[in-house]
Structures are given as structure tokens and as C-alpha cells.
Structure 1
Amino acid sequence: MVQLSSLTQNTVSIQLTALIDSALCVGAGGSSGSLADKPIVRNARGQLLIPGSQLKGRLRHECEKLARALQWPICESPVPQTMCPQVGLYSSDFQREAYRVQNKQFANGRPQHHCLICQIFGNPSLASRIEVDDLVCQVEPDNLPEVLRPGVTLNRRRRTAADQRLYFLETSPVNVQLPFSGHLHLEPNCPPQTKPLILAALHHIHALGGSKSAGLGWLTWQPFNQTLVDENWRSLLEGKAS
């Protein structure tokens, strides 16, 4: 589900609901209380969740691809030396009004220029302008059995299974359409391209968690308001990053 609502006068919240079409595997390193070598991450109430940091990282990756497709100049993350504002010092493509950040200057007084992706998701010198909540499973943990999925480490050189390398992953139950819900909050000073860019990026996220190539973590965002998405995507295409 994608539902827009105002939290305050100038802040917008996007409600997200993902239906997990297959088993979900989001590992919690260092966790105990399970027979699995890689237990699934839970909150303090024992509810399954998808960390907001993981979703935010995927959103940034997809927004970067869309920005490149729209021929908007963006920096090269995640290396700080190739990110804004340093890249704006020697690239004339970044010297545009839409990339200039108010109240951000270098020591010599020159204004800082940050690409739209950095203005939305942040970088080492600029705070993020969006906040992503954890997506929490809406089914009570008492109603979800522990599911262990066996696996084995492969010896790439011998192209066979490695000796004594059996392991177990904990996953959510298979094919039960578990709903995971949370919110994405847009701060008042977000660029105008933020909302349509994020809604478009969500269409490109089809799986989250680990072992996606093995069929885990596949999801559907439900239900999309297609009219809302189409209108925002059209405004994004018509918008000018100049």
C-alpha cells in the first residue's frame, strides 16, 4: 500500500505495505534463541521486520538508476571522495541552481552543490531528508512457526559441496502473503522530485533480504494507487533539474 498523509503542516508520510510472496530471510547477526545459524531479525515484541536501513539503501540504488536514465548528473556513491560536494568542485554539470544547497558553504565561502540523490538520501556532509521506518510484520509472532531452511557451502574450486558445511537459515513461512507495513517520512525541505522519484523507485524493488537469487524475499507492494503513481511519474518527467 502507498498512502500519502500529512503528519504536520509541512511533513508528508508515505505508508508502505509489502506482501511477501515467498519466504523472507533477513538475518540477525549475533542473535540467539534459535537452532538456525542465521536467525531472522525481530523487534523487541518478537515481530518479524525488514530494517528501514535496508529499504532505504535499495531505494537510493533504484533512484540513482532512474536519475541516470533521466540524464540528471549524480555523484558516485558510496565512496566519499567521489560524492557531493567534492565532485561539484570540478564538474560544471553540478553548477546549477537546483543543486545548490542553502546555508551550506565550503571554508572559503564557496556554495556547496549536491546532486538530487544526495539532497534526498544524504552524504557524509549533508544529512538525509527522508526517514524510513522498519517494515513490521502485521501477523502476531505467536501465529508464525519457526521455519528452518537448510543450505550447504559450495567449494568453488572443486565445484562440489564443501565438507561439514551444512547450515540452516531461519525464514518466514512460505506462500502465506505476510503483510509488512511501515512509513517513509519526507522532510519539508525535500526537493520537489523526491516523492515521484521514490514512488517510481518502489516499482523496481521486487525482493528484499538475503538469498534473493534462491527465490527468497520476493514481494509485491499492495495496493498501488496507479493514478497517483502515473501523475507523479509524469510530473517527474516534466520536471527540470536545472
Structure 2
Amino acid sequence: MSEKGVVKSRKRIDLQFKLRFDGAFAIQSGFPRGTIDRTVMRGLNGMPYIPASTLKGRVRDMAERVAPTLGYKNICRAPNPQFMCPELHGIDGEHCIVCRTFGAPGISARSGATGLIWRDAKLCDEKGEPLKDIDMAAQNDYYYSRTQAQLSRARGVALAKHLFTSENTLEGLLFRGRVRGWMQPTKEFDNGIPEGVVLLCAALKLLSFVGGGKSRGLGQCDIEFENMLKIDDKDIQTRLVLELVDQLGKS
């Protein structure tokens, strides 16, 4: 760590990535439509997308899981504010690295920073270009429905008169996501890369599923980073950031 691991000023970052699904996925909207009981989230253009809140929540969960294994202590557990900074460690105490990376109740108000902004992940082609101007008939080709029976976990059998129809997306879709904004100060490595950026990339790389239906094989995915990410005005190779993961929590 630089200067014995002292905390530097906040950093402006811009990280772009692609999220590729192995099969179908379903982020439920909570609303029925016609004969479909569980519909998938759709954007204004009628195409599937991954809400920024869903991405941030899943990646934060990965960060909360991996941080203790890297030697960090007193890691918060979102989303209950009573178990997060500053309530967990006191207002004047140092926020844990997860809260400084992903935010906590009131942290932006006291620091004057807006924090990181997560963007909705939009459907794209293999080049990462967003899909546009798709007519309504073609939109429906990205979805299919499946009727299933609700199971009784206690008895291990299908419940009578409990059929439901779920909507899923087409298999193998590709989405483009982005995280940008100001990151709260964290300790830096000798090359100037903050620990928070390394933890963010590590948590993203660990993301293996998004959405519901995990037990039915839905939502399995892989993260593909762009070759470069931006920290302040410098372009940094994402590979170099990921190589620092095993050094996290050593200071």
C-alpha cells in the first residue's frame, strides 16, 4: 500500500462490463398480463433489461460475502440500516469498505459526494451496441412462457389447482452495464488503484446469477469486463485491477 495504506481522496471511476446469460432469465415485474401470472421486466422499448437496483444489490451481496474471506472485519450486512454503517460502528467511526464502495444511509449527505451511479443493463449485440428500433412483433421473440405446478415443500408433491404461468427471456442474451461516479476514499495500492475499485471488480466477477428461478436453472450468467476502466483521468487495464484481489485486506 502507498504511504503505509493511508486513505486518499475520493476517486472518479467509470467501469463498463457485459453480462452474458447461459440460458434464460427472469426478473419478475410483479404484475400479471393476460394469461401470464409472472411477467418479466420490460423497458419502454418493450425489450428485457436488468434494473440498476438489481445489479447493485446482487454485486453488493457478493462483496459482503467475499470481504471477510480477504481479512476485512466488521463488514455490514445490507439492507437493514440497523446493521450497516454508521449505526453498526458509530457515526464517528470508520465506515467498512463495503459501505464506502456501495454506500450506506447518510454517507453521501455527510461527505458531499453523490457516490457511484449504477445504470440499467441494456440488451446489446456482440459488439456491445444497444439494440434499437425493434418492432413489436420482433419484441415478442425475446420471451416465452411456461406453465408449472406449485409444489408443497412439506409433502413433496404438486398442489392441486395451483398451476401458474411464468414468462422467461430467450436464452443466451447479452447486456451492457455501467458503473460511474465518485467512490468514497479507500486505501490505495502503490500503483494508485483504490481497494474499493478492486473489491468492486472482484464482486462483479463473482456474480454468477441474476433474477429469480435459480433452482430451475434460470439466471446463470458470466461477467465480461471491458479491457480498460477509468480512474479519474487515467485508463487502467482491468486485468491489472483483478490481479490485486489476493492483496486485499493485507494492510
TM range (shorter): 0.7 to 0.9
Alpha-carbon separation, structure 2, partners of 1:156 and 1:237: 41
Q: Secondary structure at the match of 2:77?
A: coil
Unaligned runs of 5+ residues in structure 1 are 1-9, 90-105
Residue aligning to 2:79: 78
Select which of 86, 89, 94 maps to 1:113: 94
User: Amino acid of the residue matched to residue 101 of structure 2?
Assistant: I
Unaligned runs of 5+ residues in structure 2 are 1-10, 109-113, 125-130, 187-193, 229-235
Q: Secondary structure at the match of 1:30?
A: coil
Alpha-carbon separation, structure 1, partners of 2:200 and 2:89: 24
Residue aligning to 2:21: 20
Could you say if the C-alpha distance between residues 120 and 206 of structure 1 is closer, same or farther in structure 2, counting changes exceeding 3 Å? same
Residue aligning to 2:160: 163
Alpha-carbon separation, structure 1, partners of 2:246 and 2:153: 45
Alpha-carbon separation, structure 1, partners of 2:225 and 2:116: 22
Alpha-carbon separation, structure 2, partners of 1:157 and 1:80: 34
Tell me, yes or no, if the aligned pair for 1:200 and 1:229 is still in contact at 8 Å.
no
Q: Deviations over 1:132-176 (max 9, x none)?
A: 1111112446434230022111122332111111111111123xx
Q: CA deviation at 1:220?
A: 2.1
Residue aligning to 1:126: 107
Residue aligning to 2:51: 51
- Normalising by structure 2, report the TM-score: 0.74
User: Amino acid of the residue matched to residue 121 of structure 1?
Assistant: F
Residue aligning to 1:179: 174
Q: Secondary structure at the match of 2:206?
A: coil
Alpha-carbon separation, structure 2, partners of 1:173 and 1:164: 28
- Normalising by structure 1, report the TM-score: 0.76
Q: CA deviation at 1:49?
A: 0.5
Q: Secondary structure at the match of 2:89?
A: helix
RMSD: 2.6
Q: Deviations over 1:167-205 (max 9, x none)?
A: 11111123xx21111211141545321221111112211
Alpha-carbon separation, structure 2, partners of 1:239 and 1:202: 15
Residue aligning to 2:62: 62
Residue aligning to 2:89: 88
Q: CA deviation at 1:66?
A: 1.9
Q: Deviations over 1:44-83 (max 9, x none)?
A: 1112111111110111111112210111111333332232
Q: CA deviation at 1:241?
A: 7.4
Residue aligning to 1:102: none
Alpha-carbon separation, structure 2, partners of 1:15 and 1:45: 22
User: Percentage identity across aligned positions?
Assistant: 27
Alpha-carbon separation, structure 2, partners of 1:25 and 1:224: 25
Alpha-carbon separation, structure 2, partners of 1:223 and 1:190: 23
Tell me, yes or no, if the aligned pair for 1:150 and 1:169 is still in contact at 8 Å.
yes
Tell me, yes or no, if the aligned pair for 2:21 and 2:174 is still in contact at 8 Å.
yes
Q: CA deviation at 1:224?
A: 6.1
Q: CA deviation at 1:25?
A: 0.8
User: Amino acid of the residue matched to residue 196 of structure 2?
Assistant: T
Tell me, yes or no, if the aligned pair for 2:17 and 2:226 is still in contact at 8 Å.
no
